[in-house]
Amino acid sequence: MKLITIIFCGIFSFSLNAQTNVKQVPQKENIKPRLVVGIVVDQMRYDYLAKYYNKFSQNGFKKLLTQGFNCKNTNYNYAPTYTGPGHASIYTGSTPSFHGIIGNNWFARDSGKVIYVTDDPTVQTVGSESAKAGKMSPHNMLASTIGDELRLYSNMKSKVISVSLKDRAAILPGGHLSNGSYWFDSGSGNFITSSYYTNKLPQWVTDFNAQHLSDKYLSQPWNTLFPIEQYTESAEDDNPYEGLYQGESKPVFPHNLPAMFSKTDYEVLLSTPFGNTIIKDIALAAFKGENLGKSDYTDFLAISFSSTDYIGHKMGPQSIEVEDTYLRLDRDLAEIITYLEKNYGKDNFLLFLTADHAVAYVPEELMDLKMNAGYFSYKIFSDSLNGYLSKMYNDSNLVSCIINDQIYLNRSLIKQKDINLKSLQDDIVSFALTFKGVANAYTSYELNGESLNNRSAELMQHGFYIKRSGDIALLLEPQWLDDYSHTGTSHGTTYSYDTHVPLLWYGWDIKPGYTSEPVDITDIAPTIASFLNIMSPNTSIGKPILSITK
């Protein structure tokens, strides 16, 4: 009891110092939060905060909204708005044009192959039998993260840890100097890492895996948290715009999870709200296991919740499944916030919550509502383009790859045939503009050149890295998606449904409030740097959010 009292007093005087110093004189360099907690919710649209507000609990999203600070108009300032670039941009405070993470996958001109963002053939899996799942590292990310800066500043005394279901959503936030980044291996149901970080899982991760929580969460059907008739914010459960879970004939509750997994295949966990719950569990284990926030140096935990993305892709933003996932995430979030308050005190940790991109409505639904929306067939486009080029240039092999709405040309063939690259690009732009669903198209010369004078083009320039991006980038019309599936939805564009995300701050020196001023996603890292009195990441282009940093 005595010990508890002493710890509490210590925290109290610490926070009192922080308050007085902040208000009256410039912040002292030695007063910092003990812990920064970054939370990224994969595919979270800004409007979900309001849409589900009445069903949120007191200590989750509602607490962040009423007792924290809401940057209501936070947008991505580049495209493509995908998961890899999103996480890299949040933590580097910069855009793909600097950090080089231009997609989840891209075409590598040197190897002539499509590569995955965090693939690294030089490292090994640590923590499971899977050879592939752990051959990962942040080596393709060219910039430092806020965590890297914290590590360098503190002479490696600050700790940075990151956890997520997705490898890329753990690895990129962890940066190059992470003390440990852990992600989910769906073959074993365990959390793993790579030899980039360590050759052996720490004991706390081994102990965590030994609980077999994946089995526990998949042992029961997924039913709604509240009686289903109360989900009036969403469309009816059985509708034609939702995808099906394995073995199901209708997209309706309850989803029979026990029938969908085996001891060698836990992949379905990703597409349930319990994928988020297990991330909450490992985050809580990380606080304890790594003793975060208990030294004289500020520590950093980056948590990414990815099930929201898997379920969102499959079901779309109008589904009860997505709503139920957010209501359950809200309860998981409440558990994390309550833990932090209890163990560190509200004034001793800085928490932010945002998303790596948002998402479009299901195009098929908007088409039925007679709005502009549609499906763009890259198969048809690619075949016609090759036909057109063989007529014009007498060669049908000038295109190497089409990925991320970008066309990569066969540069060596073009050189060999002495074709003018710029004219070829211009021809392809003119050809692309004859297609229904294409809003515009830009050449690499334009995207790497002077600032283009419209928002979409400007965002595409920020997403363009000359050494990795394509020769021509297409911009589809709003609500037009790759013709992959007519149920569910996706993201990746410059449009507000993909760029407008939540940004909430809570804890350390954060006064309750909100701003409607525009904030860029690249402002998050410099804002944290400002609170910590450290340097912004090395390619950061953002600025501290003045409404909260003063």
* Residues near Zn ion, by CB under 5 A: 42, 83, 309, 356
Report, in Å, the least distance between residue 87 CB and Zn ion.
8
The token duo for 309 is 């993305």
The label of the residue with tokens 């004189």 reads 25
Query: Which residues are CB-contacts of 479 (< 8 A; sequence separation ≥ 6)?
Result: 360, 361, 363, 366, 371, 372, 373, 374, 495, 497
Cis peptide bond prior to 240, omega within 30° of 0: no
- Rounded CA separation 523/45 (Å): 18
Q: How far is the CB of 259 from Zn ion (least distance, A)?
A: 28
Beta strand pairing call for 125-126 and 190-194: antiparallel
Of all residues in the shown chain, the one whose CB is closest to Zn ion is 83
With respect to Zn ion, which residue has the nearer C-beta, 356 or 523? 356
Assign 3-class secondary structure to 97-160: HHHCCCCCEEEECCCCEEEECCECCCCCEECCCCCCCCCECCCCCCCCCHHHHHHHHCCCCCCE
Question: Terminal CA-to-CA distance of the chain, rounded, Å?
Answer: 39
- Whichever of 202 and 492 has its CB closer to Zn ion, that residue is 492
The C-alpha atoms of residue 235 and residue 250 are separated, in whole angstroms, by: 15
Select 97 or 307, whichever has its Cβ closest to Zn ion. Answer: 307
Nearer to Zn ion, 83 or 493 (CB): 83
Q: Which two tokens stand for residue 222?
A: 């997924």
CA distances from 243 to 75, 227, 315, 452 (A): 28, 22, 6, 38
Tokens for 250, please give them: 């209708």
Count of residues in the chain: 550
Residue 336 C-beta: closest distance to Zn ion, Å = 20
Q: Smallest distance, Å, CB 262 to Zn ion? A: 27
Residue 354: CB minimum distance to Zn ion, A: 12
Are residues 299 and 209 in contact, defined by beta-carbon separation less than 8 angstroms?
no
Based on CB atoms, which residue is closest to Zn ion, 55 or 313?
313
Residue 539 known to be catalytic: no
Closest distance to Zn ion from the beta carbon of 419 (Å): 37
Q: Least distance from C-beta 43 to Zn ion, angstroms?
A: 5
Alpha-carbon span 470 to 467, nearest angstrom: 9
Nearer to Zn ion, 487 or 490 (CB): 490
Secondary structure class of 400 (helix, strand, coil): strand
DSSP code for 172 = H
Smallest distance, Zn ion to C-beta of residue 81, A? 8
DSSP annotation of 17: H
Catalytic residue, from 83, 487, 494, 522: name it.
83
At its nearest, how many Å lie between Zn ion and the CB of residue 65?
22
Whose CA is closest to 322, among 40, 48, 75, 87? 48
Please report, to the nearest 10 degrees, the dihedral formed by the alpha carbons of residues 414, 415, 418, 419 taken in order: 30
User: Look-up: residue for tokens 């282009």?
Assistant: 541
Q: Which is nearer to Zn ion, 278 or 359 (CB)?
A: 359
Q: How many CA atoms lie within 13 A of 534 on its CB side?
A: 26
8 Å CB contact between 151 and 177: yes
Token pair, residue 490, equals 């996706």
In the complex with Zn ion, the residue whose CB is nearer, 309 or 405, is 309
Nearest-angstrom CA–CA distance, 240 and 511: 45
Q: Whose Cβ is closer to Zn ion: residue 120's or residue 309's?
A: 309
Q: Looking at the annotation, which residues are catalytic?
A: 83
